[in-house]
């Protein structure tokens, strides 16, 4: 079912809540949250049925691992965000005050897990605040003739007062935020009416409409690859959930089988088993370390099993190979490299090509929205007359490499560039020591040049 809203009619009385058009999307979010948090037995139905009453939970949480892997590669080293020189201190303050690095990291995990991510800018009375919003609370409204154009962003969440259920709604227009409180029926699945905001004490001081002073939305959405409706992104869990489930089922079976034969049965003559007169339990006739055998009797034996499971492990390897393909992963990302295949940084990058390509794709999707959030935050502070606030212009994002650096290889590359007169000393130094300040680089460049003409003694 489509998840596109082209007007605000889904907030009217007698409408289902959550809206019927969003229920499939919200159910997918709920399922993916369980997968991300490791509650796979609540999603993979019947995972442990054949092992009852022995309960086995073999959480192979590829979902969490994939989410953190791509977030680590994308923003494990926070990007360098720059503005005009005189605006840089204000930009740095906004970034630091909002712990933006952590917010963007979590945003990348949302894109992997849910396909959608949402950031919201608000004024807290002192400064602009950037908040990460749960995508389950976001209900976008688009132009009926162009689903790529948003006309409103609706944020809605359920609240309670005693036994009564309500939905608090923020309707974001460019320059305006409208507040509503919707009363639900007893079952909580249908809107009855619009209630006064003071019905909930903490909303008593809210105005029904607030002018933001900013010409843009205060809500900025982000998406992974877009789905067919052109509004919501596609998560990365759908393509791998069946594969992860199969791996977990095979591992559970192997574990259960090994446990059974870790406590083996014995076979022997019937006379060696007697019934305990007190408990009625059938036990061995002797509690000694040996069993007496008369001539002609069969020696008791332990029933063992030849654990030939090569086919099972081959099957798991085949499924794992498909998992790598579908998730755009390279085994090298997890340290699984054959001897000699990743002896240099460039070789490792070649092995990681599909994974790094996906990281680049995610960065392309995040960059415009991230810059929009920062500009909007600065504009909201200006509109709110915050002391020292100023607009941000000429914003850029410089993504940083998050793979381990091979110092020897990097030095050889820079030596080759210098030999070909394709870079300056300062440029080479900045790449070899990206954490150095401009002052440090200037001092080092001056010393190198002085050593080259012999005016100072080289450091030993």
Q: What is the pLDDT along the chain (460 residues), one digit of tens a residue?
A: 456 899 999 999 999 999 999 999 999 999 999 999 988 888 887 665 554 444 456 678 899 999 999 999 999 889 999 999 899 999 999 999 999 999 999 999 999 999 999 999 999 999 999 999 999 999 999 999 988 899 999 999 999 999 999 999 999 999 999 999 999 999 999 999 999 999 999 999 999 999 999 999 999 999 999 876 778 999 999 889 999 888 888 888 777 777 766 666 665 565 556 667 777 776 666 554 555 566 677 776 766 666 667 777 888 888 888 888 888 887 777 766 554 444 555 666 677 788 888 999 999 999 999 999 999 999 999 999 999 899 999 999 999 887 666 677 777 787 888 788 888 888 888 877 877 788 888 888 888 888 777 655 555 4
Question: Residue 383 half-sphere exposure, CB side, CA atoms within 13 Å?
Answer: 20
Do 48 and 122 have their domain in common? yes
The answer to whether residues 228 and 357 belong to one domain is yes
On whether both 397 and 411 belong to a single domain, the answer is no
Domain boundary among 303, 328, 363: 303
Q: Which domain holds residue 63?
A: 1-7+20-137+219-259+310-403
Residues 280 and 393 in one domain: no
Element spanning 62, H or E: helix 62-75
Q: Residue 433 falls within a domain, yes or no?
A: yes
- pTM to 2 decimal places: 0.80
Residues 51, 74 within the same domain? yes
| 12 found inside a domain | no
Within-domain flag for 314: yes
**Cα–Cα distance for residue pair 8/11, rounded to 1 Å:** 6
Do 336 and 240 belong to one domain? Answer: yes
Beta strands in 174-300 (DSSP E): 176-184, 191-195, 209-211, 219-223, 266-267, 273-275, 282-284
How much is the CA Rg of the chain, to the nearest whole Å?
31
Contacts by 80-83, CB closer than 8 A, 24 or more apart = 80/397, 80/398, 80/400, 81/370, 81/374, 81/395, 81/396, 81/397, 81/398, 82/395, 82/396, 82/398, 83/392, 83/393, 83/394, 83/395, 83/396
Looking at the structure, tell me whether residues 228 and 371 fall in a common domain.
Answer: yes
Helices 353-383 and 100-114, interaxial angle, to 10°?
A: 130
Q: Are both 273 and 356 inside the same structural domain?
A: no
The separation between the first and the last C-alpha atoms of the chain, rounded to the nearest angstrom, is 71
Contacts of 8 (CB under 8 A, 6+ apart): 141, 152, 154, 171
What's the domain count of the chain?
3
Are residues 288 and 223 part of one domain? no
Give the residue among 191, 167, 170, 192 at the shortest CA–CA distance from 181. Answer: 167
Instruction: Determine the Cα–Cα distance for residues 120 and 171; give it in Å rounded to an integer.
Output: 12
DSSP SS3 for 185: coil
DSSP string for residues in 120-156: EEEE-SSSEEEEEE-GGGEEEEEETTEEEEEEEEEEE
- Tell me whether residue 142 is in a domain: no
Residue 373 included in any domain = yes
337 plus 437 within the same structural domain: no
Beta bridge partners of 141: 5, 152
Same domain, 399 and 410: no
Domain assignment of residue 269, yes or no: yes
296 & 355 share domain: no
Alpha-carbon gap, residue 355 to 405, rounded angstroms: 17
Tokens for 306? Answer: 């030849």
Alpha carbon distance 141, 79 (integer Å): 31
């Amino acid at each position: 079912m489509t998840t596109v809203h082209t007007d605000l009619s889904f907030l009217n009385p007698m409408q289902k809540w959550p809206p019927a058009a969003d229920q499939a999307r919200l159910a997918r979010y709920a399922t993916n949250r369980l997968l991300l948090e490791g509650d796979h037995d609540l999603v993979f139905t019947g995972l442990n049925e054949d092992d009852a009453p022995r309960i086995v939970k073999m959480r192979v949480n590829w979902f969490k691992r994939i989410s953190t892997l791509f977030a680590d590669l994308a923003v494990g080293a926070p990007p360098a965000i720059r503005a005009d020189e005189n605006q840089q201190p204000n930009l740095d303050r906004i970034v630091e005050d909002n712990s933006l690095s952590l917010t963007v990291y979590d945003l990348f995990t949302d894109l992997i897990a849910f396909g959608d991510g949402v950031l919201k800018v608000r004024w807290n009375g002192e400064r602009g605040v950037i908040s990460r919003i749960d995508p389950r609370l976001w209900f976008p409204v688009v132009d009926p003739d162009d689903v790529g154009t948003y006309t409103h962003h609706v944020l809605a969440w359920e609240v309670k007062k005693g036994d009564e259920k309500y939905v608090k709604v923020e309707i974001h227009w460019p320059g305006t935020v409208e507040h509503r409180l919707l009363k639900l029926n007893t079952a909580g699945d249908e809107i009855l009416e619009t209630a006064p905001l003071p019905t909930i004490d903490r909303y008593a001081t809210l105005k029904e409409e607030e002018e933001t002073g900013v010409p843009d939305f205060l809500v900025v959405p982000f998406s992974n690859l877009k789905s067919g409706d052109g509004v919501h992104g596609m998560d990365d869990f759908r393509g791998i959930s069946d594969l992860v489930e199969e791996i977990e089922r095979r591992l559970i079976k192997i574990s259960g089988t090994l446990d059974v034969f870790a406590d083996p049965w014995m076979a022997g003559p019937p006379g060696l088993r007697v019934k305990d007169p007190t408990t009625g339990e059938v036990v061995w006739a002797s509690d000694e370390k040996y069993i007496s055998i008369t001539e002609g009797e069969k020696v008791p034996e332990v029933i063992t099993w030849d654990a030939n499971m090569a086919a099972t492990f081959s099957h798991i390897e085949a499924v794992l190979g498909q998992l790598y393909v579908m998730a755009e992963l390279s085994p090298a990302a997890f340290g699984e490299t054959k001897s000699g295949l990743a002896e240099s940084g460039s070789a490792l990058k070649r092995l990681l090509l599909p994974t790094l390509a996906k990281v680049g794709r995610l960065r392309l999707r995040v960059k415009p929205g991230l810059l929009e959030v920062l500009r909007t935050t600065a504009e909201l502070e200006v509109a709110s007359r915050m002391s020292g606030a100023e607009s941000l212009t000429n914003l850029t994002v410089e993504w940083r490499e998050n793979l381990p650096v091979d110092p020897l290889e990097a030095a050889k590359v820079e030596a080759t560039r210098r030999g070909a007169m394709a870079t300056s000393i300062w440029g080479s130094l900045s790449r070899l020591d990206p954490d150095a300040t401009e002052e440090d680089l200037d001092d080092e460049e001056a010393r190198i040049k002085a050593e080259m003409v012999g005016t100072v003694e080289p450091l030993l």
